[in-house]
Amino acid sequence: MFDNIGLLAFLIFIGLGAGTLGSLLGVGGGIIMVPALTFLNLSPTQAASTSLIAVMSTSFSSTLEYSRQKRINYKLAVWMGACAIPGGIVGAFLSDFLQEDSFKLYFGLMLMLTGIYISCKNSVLKDQHARRRSLPLQIGVFVASFGAGIVSSLFGVGGGIIFVPAMLLVLGLTMHTAAPTSQLTLLMTAIAGVFTHSALGHPDYVQAIALSAGAFVGAQIGARLSRVTKDVLLQRLLGLVLVGVAVALILDALGISY
């Protein structure tokens, strides 16, 4: 499909786009990188673990810039990270037991939900202040963080698709704070997942390095754009793209031609 140089250039480009959007929206660039790696015929475990290394690069780069902007809630990030890290370790082990068709189906469903969430995020934000944030709901955020850790390592996407909605809906953070805080939490979770995947021999390090290089630069771009960009149209376009990719993965998993 690609020669070696073409493959690396393709991965750097994918990493750049994924890092930019992941940092801008706080959901993790794996939602773009994993489908690309699946397209290159990597196994589910390889795709997840390779993507997670690049997610770690995105989160590290984003955290550096968001820290400079003083937009991170460090206490919340550490508490959520402490709950998510064990989930990240569990998810890495579980990835060995996920069959390719199941991986495509489950990931496609998750991608579709992510696309719907991103498309409707502004409506969610308008309603968030009307919601009561009871103690059980707040405790539920930290339980959900454990689940986000599992999702992060199992699918290689980072747990931002869970962290950010939880921060917005339950804890009442604004997007201005939720996305940066999510990136620090993602960093801690991804580190745990990457170490576990590496110990199990899962990642393709050459492809991971190419993705990470693009993602690191993209994350800087996304973090800086987030200060000035009105991203309503971008969110909706991304949501449509994610739903489209999700439908393709689900059809493929079900053996339906398209």
pLDDT digits (tens, 9 = 90+) for 124-155: 555 554 455 667 777 888 888 999 999 899 88
In a domain, 82, yes or no: yes
Number of domains making up the chain: 1
* Residue 188: domain span: 4-253
Buried b / exposed e along 191-224 (16+ C-beta atoms within 10 A): bbbbebbbeeebbbeebbbbbbbbbbbbbbbbbb
Mean pLDDT of the chain: 85
In a domain, 58, yes or no: yes
| Least confident among 46-60, 113-127, 185-199 | 113-127
In a domain, 168, yes or no: yes
Q: Which of 93, 97, 14, 89 is nearest to 57 (CA)?
A: 14
Phi, psi of 243 (to 5 degrees): -65, -40
For the residues of the chain, what is the DSSP string, one character each? ---HHHHHHHHHHHHHHHHHHHHHHSS-THHHHHHHHHHTT--HHHHHHHHHHHHHHHHHHHHHHHHHTT---HHHHHHHHHHHHHHHHHHHHHGGG--HHHHHHHHHHHHHHHHHHHHTHHHHHHHHTTS---HHHHHHHHHHHHHHHHHHHHHSS-THHHHHHHHHHTS---HHHHHHHHHHHHHHHHHHHHHHHHHTT---HHHHHHHHHHHHHHHHHHHHHTTT---HHHHHHHHHHHHHHHHHHHHHHTT---
Tens digit of pLDDT for each residue in 87-126? Answer: 999 999 988 887 778 888 888 888 888 788 777 766 555 5
pLDDT value, residue 64: 95
pLDDT value, residue 130: 45
What is the C-alpha separation between 82 and 41, in angstroms, rounded?
Answer: 34
Higher pLDDT, 86 or 235: 86
Using the structure block, give the residue that is written with the tokens 């987030």: 226
Most confident by average pLDDT, 31-45, 51-65, 95-109, 171-185: 51-65
In a domain, 185, yes or no: yes
Q: Which residues contact 88 (CB under 8 A, 6 or more apart)?
A: 149, 150, 152, 153, 189, 190, 192, 193, 196
The two structure tokens encoding residue 186 = 């993602």
Tens digit of pLDDT for each residue in 62-87? Answer: 999 999 999 999 999 999 999 999 99
In a domain, 67, yes or no: yes
Residue 240 has pLDDT above 70, yes or no: yes
Higher pLDDT, 257 or 165: 165
pLDDT value, residue 31: 83
Residue 14 has pLDDT above 90, yes or no: yes
In a domain, 258, yes or no: no
In a domain, 211, yes or no: yes
Q: Would the pTM count as exceeding 0.75?
A: yes
Q: Is residue 110 a contact partner of residue 214, using CB atoms and an 8 Å limit? A: no
| Least confident among 31-35, 155-159, 165-169, 198-202 | 165-169
What is the C-alpha separation between 208 and 156, in angstroms, rounded?
Answer: 12
